[in-house]
Amino acid sequence: MLVNFNTLPEDSRVWIYQANRSFSEQELEDIKNKLDLFVTNWTAHGSDLQAGYDIRYKRFIILGLNQGIASATGCSIDASVHFIQQLEKEYSVDLMDKMNVSYKQGEFVAHKSLIDFKKMAKQRAVSKNTIVFNNLVTNIAELNENWEVPASESWHNRFLN
């Protein structure tokens, strides 16, 4: 059951898929239509899942699930991963690679491989104050508090001097 992402409780589970490029306005419109259809029909063992989505910075697809109504199961998680993989193919974009880092350069969101991010840290092109996206957050409360944070407050800190 599709609900507005902003109405989901703070303990709702989230999955964040980070694109290696920004989506165009037309792509965003198409992706939102596909997400509407997917989330409306997303179930776990035949039970409707109360879920919503948000797309931020034209590159992060965030799925949210109210587990107080019904929890995700292996099959429902597999269905969401398969859906995201279809988006990857259709839009020639990488959404599943966890070995990439997104961070802010002013208002612009940059995307680098983890190897390049490590090199940039050594060269001091990024610092402990660089705002990074911590896609390891697990619920909406963490998303709101710990998703966009200085690198010093994230797992990215291990690469900084």
The rounded distance, in Å, linking the Cα atoms of 84 and 122 is 33
Q: φ, ψ for residue 105 (rounded to 5)?
A: -120, 95
Q: What predicted TM-score, i.e. pTM, was given to this entire model?
A: 0.93
User: What is the identity of the amino acid at 161?
Assistant: N
The rounded distance, in Å, linking the Cα atoms of 8 and 53 is 10
The rounded distance, in Å, linking the Cα atoms of 156 and 159 is 6
The rounded distance, in Å, linking the Cα atoms of 152 and 118 is 14
| Residues 31-61: b if buried by 16+ CB within 10 A, e if exposed | beeebeebbeebebeeeebbbbbbbebebbb
pLDDT, tens only, 36-83:
999 999 988 878 899 999 999 999 999 999 998 888 888 899 999 999
Residue 161 has pLDDT above 70, yes or no: no
Residue 149 has pLDDT above 80, yes or no: yes
